[in-house]
Amino acid sequence: MIRPVTPADLGAFHEVMMAAGMDPRSSWTRTTLADLERSLLAPDSGGFLAQVAGQAIGCVGYRPDGPHTLTLNKLATRPQARGQGLGRRLVEAVEAHARQAGYGRVLLAVSQFNLDVLPFYARLGYLPTDEPYAHAHPASPPPVVLVRPLKEGSSS
């Protein structure tokens, strides 16, 4: 089951992120509960949590970046839940929210320490862009920025 994140879910969301196995050099591994609260519970921001039998197995966040762009972030699944389409369904949940809220595109950034996920996003229709990523961690190498237009002719 995939459902919107609530304040009570921050601990489970964090556990999924930490269990995902991100490269320890990534700023991702230094994410705190306070960071998640600021990110997921900010105005017009949010996320989704996937659960099976009461256990959180996947998560994704989003935040607005201007009037036309919703940024997807913090997509994670527990290793044992991979290969079953869960990541795709979480991305689709963010895209559906973006469409409903009137955004024309979804943007995301892939860490230089996580480039193995690029084919996953390519299969979902995300294309590289030269745009800078406004939320890049200053101590990390610049991420690969990907965009997926949600409406015909939308690119900004």
Q: What confidence tens digit (pLDDT) does each residue in 12-45 have?
A: 999 999 998 887 777 778 888 999 999 999 999 9
Strands of the chain (E only): list them: 2-4, 46-52, 55-64, 69-77, 105-110, 127-129, 144-149
Q: What confidence tens digit (pLDDT) does each residue in 47-103 have?
A: 999 999 989 999 999 999 989 999 999 999 999 998 899 999 999 999 999 999 999
| pLDDT value at residue 156 | 42
Please determine, for residue 153, whether its predicted confidence score (pLDDT) is greater than 60. no
2-149 is a CATH 3.40.630.30 domain: yes
Q: Domain boundaries in the chain?
A: 2-149
What is the model's pTM? 0.90
